[in-house]
């Protein structure tokens, strides 16, 4: 291949930068001889086991594995490895027809038995995005047909199936051990794993057996770890990386004016939240939680920390997810009302507490400072504790925190998984997102909504669920976060999906 100026500059810059960052240069060397797309990410992946991963690992694994249905750019599930899904009259049996001609990256054909194996395995694993469908059996009566039988109606099935955790892999790990398979996984996606530096660069190679003709355009896709936001932007401007798929809001306006950079803003299912540890003595008191809710000015916080690229949140379901209810409005900031609510609690004169934030996250740091100032007005003195994100996660899961700033995301377009995960300790598998909140009535409402086939009745149940959450306030929704993506201006075809995924299979250079 003839070298172009972009590739030469990218190689030279990367070699110089490697002396400082200590990243593997393998991905960059490839750029000199092949078409390579380099993406700057804030954290390394931990695993490619799709049934047991969260966070940024998901957005690498989804380049390798694909589900039967996939989340489209509009947020709705659409046929992918399956061309159709047909329910019976009572919604308890679904028949999936597989897309003909699909192959795995090892050139073996996709068969129904692979689907049975993959989905059955996911049902037995609870470490990642859960599959909450009440599945009784998954069978393969023919090589191109999969039948899923349910205990009862479950209208969210297609949405659930579209999560990457339901990606399809060869049956029995293609004859390998489970551990060996995920070191070099085999999937139907546009890319395959080429190399993986623990804690650093992951390089993927084009899947030569990909079922979509003439895709992907790039020979390699490299994810490099650049925890510092400013460093990611500097490398984009220098041409050392090509894409930032989570651009810091503070740089959005500036980069929008740069002719060398293309910046897009789109809807997402991400909510920035403040969560309470309801086992904490102060925050076990609903009046304290309500007082905090009344004291926080969401709009001021959203405008200040997103530089007006995102909107203040009202209810816990994002506007782009089904059954979002705009009538469940966030309370207006009212310091006097907050003081009166606090007076109803066991701590009428206030108290001291802490708020936990991930280190290196400038947005969370600024949010914490704003909340610290606002809560101080009602007598709640807040100390900010900033720790490594992994430590924050450990402390949260152990219940060793009082307040935590975090972002949360709905992985699918139906609210069932999202609400169950955050508010149902019995069904969600996360102790109500580690708030340890438990409202049996809310759990009952969510269980009813999960199986209700009448859209109007289902909508009424989710309205009630949002009202309960707004009253009990185990979590305060702060900001509906927009998706901000920046690329080199000569790159087109990248799709930002509301669930946080980024599709690179159609990406190419002009």
Confidence class for position 255, pLDDT limits 50, 70, 90: very high
Claim: this prediction has a pTM higher than 0.75: yes
What confidence score (pLDDT) does residue 320 get? 86
Number of other residues whose CB lies within 10 A of the CB of residue 257:
8
Tell me: the pLDDT tens digits for 378-416?
999 999 999 998 899 999 999 999 999 998 988 889 999
For 130-134, 209-213, 259-263, which range has the lowest pLDDT when averaged over its residues? 130-134
Q: Can you give the three-state secondary structure of 74-119, one letter per residue?
A: CCCEEECCEEEEEECCCCCEEEEEECCCCECCCCCECCHHHHHHHH
> β-pairing, 135-142 with 145-150?
antiparallel
Q: Is the pLDDT of residue 11 over 60?
A: no
Q: Name the residue with tokens 């001021």.
A: 300
Number of other residues whose CB lies within 10 A of the CB of residue 389:
17
Tell me: the pLDDT tens digits for 327-379?
887 788 999 999 999 999 999 999 999 999 998 788 899 999 999 999 999 99
* 3-class DSSP assignment, residue 380: strand
Q: Is the pLDDT of residue 12 over 50?
A: no
Geometric angle at alpha carbon 59, from 55 and 63, rounded to 5°: 155
* 482 token code pair: 């927009």
Q: Is the pLDDT of residue 19 over 60?
A: no
Q: Which residues contact 434 (CB under 8 A, 6 or more apart)?
A: 275, 277, 396, 397, 399
Tell me: the pLDDT tens digits for 442-456?
999 999 999 999 999
| Cα–Cα dist 37/219, whole Å | 8
pLDDT average, residue stretch 250-262: 96
What confidence score (pLDDT) does residue 7 get? 43
For 1-15, 107-121, 422-436, which range has the lowest pLDDT when averaged over its residues? 1-15
Q: Is the pLDDT of residue 14 over 70?
A: no
**Mean per-residue pLDDT of the chain:** 91
pLDDT average, residue stretch 120-137: 87
Tell me: the pLDDT tens digits for 276-320?
999 999 999 999 999 999 999 999 999 999 999 999 999 999 998
* 3-class DSSP assignment, residue 434: helix
The DSSP bridge partners found for residue 303 are none
Identify whether the C-beta of residue 398 lies closer than 8 Å to the C-beta of residue 311.
no
Confidence class for position 26, pLDDT limits 50, 70, 90: very low
What confidence score (pLDDT) does residue 54 get? 76
Q: Kindly report the backbone phi and psi dihedral angles of residue 428, in degrees, each rounded to the nearest multiple of 5, phi listed first.
A: -90, -20
In order of 203, 293, 304, 357, the CA distances from 363 in angstroms are 29, 19, 9, 10
pLDDT average, residue stretch 462-487: 97
> In whole angstroms, how large is the CA radius of gyration of the chain?
23
pLDDT average, residue stretch 56-84: 95
Confidence class for position 33, pLDDT limits 50, 70, 90: low
Confidence class for position 486, pLDDT limits 50, 70, 90: very high
| Cα–Cα dist 81/283, whole Å | 46
In order of 57, 115, 166, 324, the CA distances from 71 in angstroms are 17, 18, 12, 18
| Cα–Cα dist 316/293, whole Å | 13
pLDDT average, residue stretch 207-213: 97
Cis peptide before 216 (omega within 30 of 0): yes
What confidence score (pLDDT) does residue 2 get? 32
């Amino acid at each position: 291949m003839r070298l172009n100026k972009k590739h030469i500059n990218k190689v030279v810059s990367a070699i110089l930068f490697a002396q400082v960052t200590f990243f593997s240069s393998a991905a960059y060397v490839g750029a000199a001889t092949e078409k390579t797309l380099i993406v700057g990410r804030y954290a390394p992946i931990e695993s490619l086991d799709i049934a047991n991963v969260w966070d940024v690992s998901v957005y690498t694994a989804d380049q390798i594995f694909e589900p039967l249905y996939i989340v489209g750019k509009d947020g709705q599930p659409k046929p992918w490895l399956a061309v159709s899904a047909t329910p019976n009259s009572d919604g308890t049996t679904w028949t999936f027809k597989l897309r003909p001609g699909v192959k795995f990256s090892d050139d073996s054909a996709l068969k129904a038995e692979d689907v049975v194996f993959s989905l059955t395995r996911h049902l037995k694993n609870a470490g990642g995005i859960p599959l909450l469908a009440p599945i009784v059996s998954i069978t393969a009566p023919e090589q191109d047909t999969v039948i899923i039988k349910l205990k009862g109606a479950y209208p969210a099935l297609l949405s659930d199936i579209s999560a990457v955790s339901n990606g399809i892999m060869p049956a029995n790990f293609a004859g390998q051990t489970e551990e060996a398979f995920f070191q070099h996984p085999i999937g139907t996606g546009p890319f395959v794993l080429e190399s993986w530096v623990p804690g650093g660069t992951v390089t993927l190679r084009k899947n030569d057996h990909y079922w979509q003709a003439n895709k992907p355009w790039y020979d390699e896709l490299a994810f490099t770890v650049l925890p510092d936001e400013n460093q990611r932007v500097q490398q984009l401007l220098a041409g050392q990386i090509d894409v930032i798929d989570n651009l810091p809001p503070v740089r959005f306006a500036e980069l929008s004016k740069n002719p060398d950079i293309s910046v897009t803003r789109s809807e997402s299912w991400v909510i920035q939240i403040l969560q309470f540890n309801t086992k904490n003595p102060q925050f076990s008191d609903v009046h304290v939680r309500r007082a905090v809710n009344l004291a926080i000015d969401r709009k001021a916080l959203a405008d200040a920390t997103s530089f007006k690229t995102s909107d203040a949140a009202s209810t816990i379901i994002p506007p782009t997810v089904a059954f979002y209810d705009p009538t469940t409005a966030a309370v207006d900031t009212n310091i006097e009302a907050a003081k009166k609510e606090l007076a109803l609690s066991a701590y009428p004169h206030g108290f001291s507490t802490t708020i936990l934030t991930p280190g290196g996250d400038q947005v969370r740091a600024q949010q914490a400072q704003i909340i610290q100032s606002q809560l101080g007005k009602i007598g709640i003195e807040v100390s900010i504790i900033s720790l490594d994100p992994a430590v924050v996660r450990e402390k949260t899961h152990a219940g060793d925190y009082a307040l935590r700033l975090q972002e949360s995301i709905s992985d699918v377009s139906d609210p069932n998984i999202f609400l169950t995960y955050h508010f149902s300790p019995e069904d969600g598998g996360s102790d109500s997102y580690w708030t340890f909140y438990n409202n049996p009535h809310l759990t009952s409402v969510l269980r009813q909504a999960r199986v209700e086939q009448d859209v109007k009745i289902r909508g009424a149940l989710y309205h009630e669920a949002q009202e309960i959450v707004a009253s009990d306030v185990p979590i305060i929704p702060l900001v509906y976060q927009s998706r901000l993506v920046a690329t080199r201006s000569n790159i087109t075809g990248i799709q930002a999906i509301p669930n946080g995924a980024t599709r690179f299979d159609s990406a190419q250079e002009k």
